[in-house]
Each structure stands twice: as structure tokens, then as C-alpha cells.
Structure 1
Amino acid sequence: MKHCLECGAKLILKPCGDEGDIPFCESCGLFRFPVFSTAISTAVLNHDKSKILLIQQYNRPHYILLAGYVNKGEDAEATLVREVKEEVGLQVTGYQYMRSEYYEPNNTLMLNFVSVVDSEDLSGLTAEVDHGQWFTWEEAVQAIAKNSLAERFLLNIVQKLQSGSIHVETRPSGL
């Protein structure tokens, strides 16, 4: 960030306590911490956790995890439930946060979850999704877009599924 988002003045680097050098607007007299988008991604599992749903979007041939941006005023868990319903028409019955990673190509902090849904019925796919398909864990690893953030998240989740260390909690009502 080179200019103030409020007034447009050129920012300078200025020490800010233990934070180190942070962009500072001399005109506003305020530090301008980096701004980025926040999104969720999720490995959607069927009820017995034996299959993973992968999707294709935007006329691309690659399979990816379901993902979406967090709206202003919305928490990540609500985004997860909303995106699964909006994109594939399924109801999330439980989820577990896994990990995060900054994705530089679109300046986004990705928050990764594993979620469980109430059905394998994909008749509710919306226009946002070109194709959705259920895969076994092993098939999903083969099908996912290679060398992608989705692949890194998926490999982490499959490893934890295989070790039995994923304990998806039933989602609170109201989400």
C-alpha cells in the first residue's frame, strides 16, 4: 500500500512500537495497516465422512474446494454455511476449522475448514458451480488442481481424516 485509503496522500514508513515500520499517513496522522480480503474454503464431506465434494467453476477444468469471500459483518462460520448452501444447495451439519494461508495472487487470507453436509444430492448446484462431484479421499487427492492452495488444504485434511484427528462438531443452531 503506497497511498492512504482515506485521503490519498503518499504513505511513509514509520516505527510503530513492537510492530516495526508501518505505513503512516502524515496528512491523517494515522498508521495504515495492510488491507486484504478474507475468504473461507472447505472440504465438504458427506454424512459418514467417506466422500469429499469437489467443484469446477468459471469454465476451468480443475477441481477445487468450495470457497467464498467473507462479507462485511459476517464471521467465517456463517460464511461457510452460507457459501455451501448458495453454491451447492446443501445444509452444513457440522464443521471444524483447519488452518489458514495467505494467498498472494488475490491478496486474500484463506481460512480453511472441513464441513459435513446433510445429503449427497447435488441437484441444488447453482450457476456459480459448473460441476460438482463426490470423490473418495484417494480420488479427491488425484482430482484436485495440482500445486494449488486447494491441494495443500485437501492434503492436510485427508491426512487428518486418515489419522482420525478430525472431530467435526455439530454447528450451532442459527448459523
Structure 2
Amino acid sequence: MKTIDKAKLASNKSTEIKKHSIYDIAINAIDGKSISLSEFKGKKILFVNVASKCGFTKQYKDLQMMNDKYKEELVIIGSPCNQFGQQERGDASQIQKFCELNFGVKFLLTEKIDVKGAKQHSLYKWLTTKDLNGKMSSSVKWNFQKYLVDDNGGLIDYYYSITNPMSSKITKYL
């Protein structure tokens, strides 16, 4: 009897995973407008938690290069986060100006969010929790950690900050 109950629970759990799609998650752009992730179905998405005062901030340049090179098949979404070394203290306007002036950033930036902890945004809960993404669990270790999602909304993999956006570890999927 216990075996049947466990099987039933496992069945229910997999049903929950299928119901919870990355395309159902709500997030706002840096200007406060709502972003519908479902509009990116058919393209891969690279999610990156970003910060203006980090040793990896120079990756903004490579992210923009990547955005320009792969714009037909890839959407890059940067999410400012102030959880690592207080390296993103600015408000939305300051962050946006910094990114545009210093790196020519044209890819999508979200509102400032938490990527870990008690106030973790639902996007990062999905990206870091196997029960939600169906693939693997992880934790965000620092600014500029990257998560690649396939064109059907499935998690492909994640990459630590030291992995350059233009690395073949990522571009082999594009």
C-alpha cells in the first residue's frame, strides 16, 4: 500500500512540474513594464544576474555582443541583483543609464530582484529548483551566473560567473 501511495505522489509531482512552466512566471522590466516570458517561445533565453560594480561587470560587453550575434535565436535577460557584495546599489534609472553608457546594453533588463534567500524571485526559484524546472537544482553563487533555457522553455544548464557569455560551453547550443 505504501508503494502505491509513493507512486501516486511521484505521479502528482511530475504533473505539477509540467503545469509549472517558465512561461507562466511574471517579472517586470527595469522600466516597470510587465514582461511576458511566453513571447520568447521558440527562442533560447539566457538569464544572467547582473551588477554594476562587480569584477565580472565587463561581461556586459560580451552579453551585448552575444545579443547582436544570436538575436534571431536567443534572448538575453539581465536581472540586476544587490545580494553579492552590495555591488548593485543603484535604482532602475541609474542601472539602465550605467549599462547603456558604459556597455551599449540593448538587451532586456528586469527590475532589481533577489536571486537567492527568503525573497528569491519566482524566476530564480524555477531556475534553481529541480522540482520546478524538471532538470537540476543549483544555487546562485555570485553576480553574472548564467542560466540557459531552450526554445521550449526547458532548462539546458547553468554556468558560473567565470564562464564568459561567448564561451563554447554556451554557444554550442545556439
TM-score using structure 2 length: 0.27
Kindly name which structure, 1 or 2, has the bigger radius of gyration based on alpha carbons: 1
Higher helix share: 2
TM-score using structure 1 length: 0.27
